């Protein structure tokens, strides 16, 4: 793993850790687009990227801060999102870390549930032609390799509960509050 201002020759996985309002986020991109967003990343734990790089068959490369190439635009857009100025990411995405039903559900979520809205697990299952597959939708949300950008935080229980969230319920609440779905915490 190198940290350099120039990308290596050949196929590689560019990655970095950036601060956000909900804690540090690990971001990774291929030449196809953003491939991974991970919550609660720590700059001193670079081993988080190794399984992703191995699965994709790519060498990991961490550019020096500010020298990002593939991640420059995702970093800008995440900052704009947390500042309240971005409602849709519109980034190139590499979907290779998701497949089958999970990918179908995540793409439908990305396409049809806008900023400031929520959808129930069962409703999302029906949208992909699988009524009654609410639990499978929950599993798809848990496998989302691109949280925030593919907004799994917008999927809630049909009865009004928050449901689960890989980044933790406080993170889900914070994202929904940012989007105006829930009130901002008082303290």
Q: Which residues are catalytic?
A: 152
Q: How many other C-beta atoms can be found within 10 angstroms of the C-beta atom of residue 110?
A: 18
Alpha helices in 117-181 (DSSP H): 121-127, 134-142, 169-178
- Contact present, 86 and 77 (Cβ < 8 Å): yes
User: 117: which residues sit within 8 A by CB, 6+ positions away?
Assistant: 154, 181
CA angle 68, 74, 76 (to 5 degrees): 85
- At residue 176, what are phi and psi to the nearest 5 degrees? -70, -35
Burial of 147 (0-12, 13-18, 19+ CB in 10 A): buried
Q: Which of 18, 72, 34 is nearest to 150 (CA)?
A: 34
């Amino acid at each position: 793993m190198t940290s350099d201002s120039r990308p290596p020759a050949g196929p590689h996985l560019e990655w970095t850790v950036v601060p956000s309002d909900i804690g540090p986020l690990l971001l990774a991109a291929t030449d196809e687009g953003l491939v991974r967003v991970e919550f609660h990343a720590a700059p001193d734990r670079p081993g988080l990227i190794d399984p992703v790089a191995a699965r994709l068959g790519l060498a990991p490369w961490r550019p020096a801060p500010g020298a990002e190439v593939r991640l420059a635009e995702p970093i800008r857009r995440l900052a704009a999102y947390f500042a309240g100025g971005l409602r849709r990411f519109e980034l190139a995405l590499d979907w290779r870390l998701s497949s089958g039903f999970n990918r179908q559900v995540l793409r439908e979520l990305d396409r049809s549930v806008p900023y400031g809205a929520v959808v129930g697990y069962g409703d999302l299952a029906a949208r992909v032609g699988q009524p009654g597959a609410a639990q499978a939708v929950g599993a798809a949300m848990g496998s989302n390799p691109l949280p925030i950008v593919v907004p799994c935080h917008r999927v809630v229980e049909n009865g009004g509960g928050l449901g689960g969230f890989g980044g933790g319920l406080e993170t889900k609440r914070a994202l929904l509050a940012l989007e105006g779905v829930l009130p901002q915490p008082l303290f």
